[in-house]
Every structure is written in structure tokens, then in C-alpha cells.
Amino acid sequence: MRKINVHYLILIIYLCFLNIIIYTSLAAQEEKPQVTRLKIDVERQVGEIDPKIYGNFIEHLGRCLYGGIYDPDSPLADEKGFRRDVIEAVKKLKVTVLRWPGGNFASGYHWRDGVGPRELRPRRLELAWKTIETNVIGTNEFIEFCRLIGAEPYICVNLGTGSWDEAREWVEYCNIEKGTSLAELRASHGYPQPHRVKYWALGNEMDGSWQMGHRDAEDYAKFALEAAKLMKWTDPSIKLVACGSSTFGRGWTDWNRTVLNYLRDYADYIAIHTYLNNRRNDFPSFMAATLDVEDRIKIIEGLILEAMSQTRRREPIYIAYDEYNVWYRAFEDKGLEETYNLEDALVIATFLNVFVRNAHIVKMANMAQLVNVIAPIRTTKESLWLQTIYYPLFLFANYCHGRSLQVYVDGPTYKTETRPVVPYLDVSAAFNPKENEVILNVVNRNEKQAMPAEIISQWGTFEGKARIDEVNGPNIKAENGPEGEKVKIESKEIQVKGDRLTYLFPPHSYTMLRLKWQKPTSH
């Protein structure tokens, strides 16, 4: 038997160990995600963030109004029947503008049914949601609730079964101070001062075949134009919202172009509606769904520019995203009381990121709806609880103000069946000059991995304590309920100094960073 050379054996063992080390190192590199670079310059501004993007919506549907906002039998109701706990929860959401009375309900609603003594108000068969409408809540009660929560009222007129005169007279009833029969009628109802309702929608989802009074684009636009003229002649200070797309099948761009071409001299906004769903239980695709929302905004912005090129008006036309949410599990349920989980909250955060990124053109947004019905707030007779989607709304509405910033995002991506490139980190940013604060909103779309990012200030530095608020839970299906919250906000502070910092964004999370910014000293 030949003797093995000792040196040769040592060399073999050394090479084996070296291969193990190299393999382990390469495997670790493959598992370790690439660092995303987020570059921010406070002077690269998109536009002013309009607080109205933090609006909401209430409709005569299920337990939104009756049993939600208004519940005189509850021990938590005030002297007028409004729920005190709901008012406080809504105040914390900083709802800026509240849309009413619908929704599909608006296309069959006649406002005179809901004013005057309650005992004289008619009970009507309600065709949109197949219920009986008591008309206990009407125009004046809606205005009172808006005042209680500090929101601007936004009324959707009936251009389905309603008339031009009915729309015009509603403006007169609400806004003319005195001297007309309708102003005197309002005063006789206990409201001598005008309500001064500024925002009015010219119908709801008139592009939809499900809508009472549905018309094609040209018929709707012609009808809405005459209503708009009468309403603005009654009160020239009001702002009007035309019906854009609520469905995005074939021809949706033609609908918006036609509406804008007819209403370009009268409409101040065009409305878009979008509801998203995860019926396929496909988390990556669900997380990417708001990329379609952003595409639609850019397309409609182009159509607005086209319409504006053919008018002498100087005031811009903006987009009002006045219905949006996740909605699919309670679709067939008459109450529409959707229970939301963490992944739904992350999608809402990406909706809000889209609105902030497009702050120059999206100047109003209204989540549908406020209480119980596909809502961030749910009530029982004795209490309320907060759904997962409450928390991104809370953070954006309370802290994401000022000027939207362009953000350079360079990092890892993934693909879906319809999207070849989806960034794992969905990002928006704002600069609040009053606070010298940069606000960074980041959704990590990765279900399994934390994603590191280097946040770079290209002009000026970050100094002092940074506040970090994270919306997360144990898994993407985690829900809140009356028994407790699995999804909520976790907060902390870190010390930062210099023009960059590195942060690790946890899996399936929405994170808001508020960074104190310091202007560079001149040389």
C-alpha cells in the first residue's frame, strides 16, 4: 500500500474547506436582499399635497348612517343621536371632506324628502340597495355631522332620476343667505345661516349600467352640462365634480374624453372610482394592483390637458378619486361589512402613496366608506373597534402634509402575470416646510423578507431624532376585531445625523419615517 503524501492531503482538505466557505458565502449573498437606494431632494417637488386627499364618504347603505354615525338608542349617542365615540374616532382620522348621500343611493334620492320636521318626512322604497329609506338623516343632519367632525361637506346631486331644477334648488337651499323662498325654507327648518357647501358632484357613476338613470357618455355630458350651468349661476363660488370612470373596460378613455370636452368650462374635478380585491389569494399581485391606479391617473391627466387646450379657462381641472377601497368578501352581503386584514391595510397605504406621488393632479380622494360599510370603523351598540385600514389612513392624514417630492427608487423587483417589474418597496415622500420635516412612506410588498434601504438626502442633512411608525401584524391575514387588535401602529425613535441613513423595512409592513431636515450651510 502506497503512503499518502501528507502535504498533498493537507492541500485537499484545505481546498475542501475553501469550497465550503465560498459556497456558504455565495448562498448568504443570494439570500441577503439587495439594498434599495432612495434618493430625496427637497427642492424636487411634484406639487402641494391637498388635505382633501384624506376625505371620506358616507351613504345610506347598511349600518353606515343608521346604527353607525346615528344611533339614538345607543348609550353612547349625544342629544341629537350622533355617536360620540364615532365622532372622536373620525376626528382622529382628520377627515377633511365628506361625500354624501351616495354612491348609487344618490341616483334615486330627492333632497326635499330629507328636510323639515322628521315626523313629516316620507318613507321611500330605495331601489339602489333594495331597502326602505326613512329620511331621518337629510341635508341639515349631514351638515351638522360634518361640523362635528371638522370636515367640508361634499354633496352628490341626483342626475339619475333627478332634474336640473332639483340640482339647482339644492344649491339654493344650502347656500343662498336670504331673500328667496328656498333660503327662507331652510331658515324655517332651523338654519337661518347658509351652509355654504362648496363641493358638488354631478351625479354618481353614470357610466355604469347598474346606475339608475344610466346614460352613455354624450347623453350624460349634455345633461350634466345644463345642471352645471344652473348650479354655478345659482352660486358661482361652488366647485363641481364630473363623473369620470367607475369601470375600466373597453372605451373608458372615450367616456372621460367626452365628459371633459363637454364640461371643461364648468367642471373643476373629474371623479374616478376603483375598488380592488384579492379573490385569487395572490398576495404579490394584490400588492401590485395600485400600479393600475397610477396608470389611470396619468392617462386622465393627459385627457385633462387635451381638454384644457381647447378652452380659455385658466383654473385647472383636477382629479377627485372620490371612491376607493378594498371590497370583495362582503360583496353580496347587503350590509357590506367587510372585515379587513393586514394585506388590505398595505393596499390602502399604496393607494395613499399613489395620491401623494401625483399630488399635482389628484386634489381630492374619498375612501368608501366611513363606518361599518367597507369601513375603517366598526360599531356595536356599546362600543367601536378599529379595522386594520384605519391605521395607514391615520398616519397619512395626521402627518403627511406639505409638498410631494420626487423619489428616486433603485432596488429589487418582482414580476406578476400582468406586471414585469414591481418594486418591492413602494415609496412616497413629502417635505413639510413648517416643520422642516421629510416624511417618507414605505410599503414593503415582500411577504417573507425584510428589505434594507439606504435613504439619501441629495441636498441638506437629516439631524436629531427621527420618528418611525410601523403598521404591521403577525401575518398578512391578521385581522382586528372587538376582542382585540392584531394589526396596529408600533412607534419608536432613532437618532440620525448626516445625509444618509440605512433602515431595514420589515416584511409585509407600512412604515412612515419623519426625519428632521437641515438646510446646508452656504460656503
Is 309 in a helix, a strand, or coil?
coil
Q: Which of 474, 514, 508 is nearest to 491 (CA)?
A: 514
The x, y and z cell numbers of residue 354, run together, are 399613489
Give Cβ neighbours of residue 332 (< 8 Å, ≥ 6 apart): none
List, in sequence order, every residue forming a beta bridge with 430; answer none if it has no partner.
404, 439
R_g over Cα of the chain: 27
Bin 359: left if φ > 0, else alpha if -120 < ψ < 50, else beta: alpha
Is 105 in a helix, a strand, or coil?
helix
Outline where 46-106 has alpha helix (H). Answer: 84-93
Which residue shows C-alpha cell 333660503?
183
The x, y and z cell numbers of residue 481, run together, are 376585531
Let me know how long the chain is: 523
Q: Which residues are catalytic?
A: 205, 323
Work out the burial of residue 398: count CB atoms within 10 Å of its CB; fewer than 13 is exposed, 13-18 middle, 19 or more buried.
Answer: middle
Q: Which of 344, 352, 351, 349 is nearest to 328 (CA)?
A: 344
How far CA 162 is from CA of 157, 172, 345, in Å, comes to 8, 16, 37
Residue 179 φ then ψ, to 5°: 95, -5
Which of 441-454 are b and which e, b meaning 16 or more Cβ less than 10 Å from the residue's Cβ?
Answer: bbbbbbeebebbbe
Q: Is the sign of the CA dihedral 246, 250, 253, 258 positive or negative?
A: negative
CA–CA separation, 272 and 260 (whole Å): 13
What's 246's DSSP letter?
Answer: S
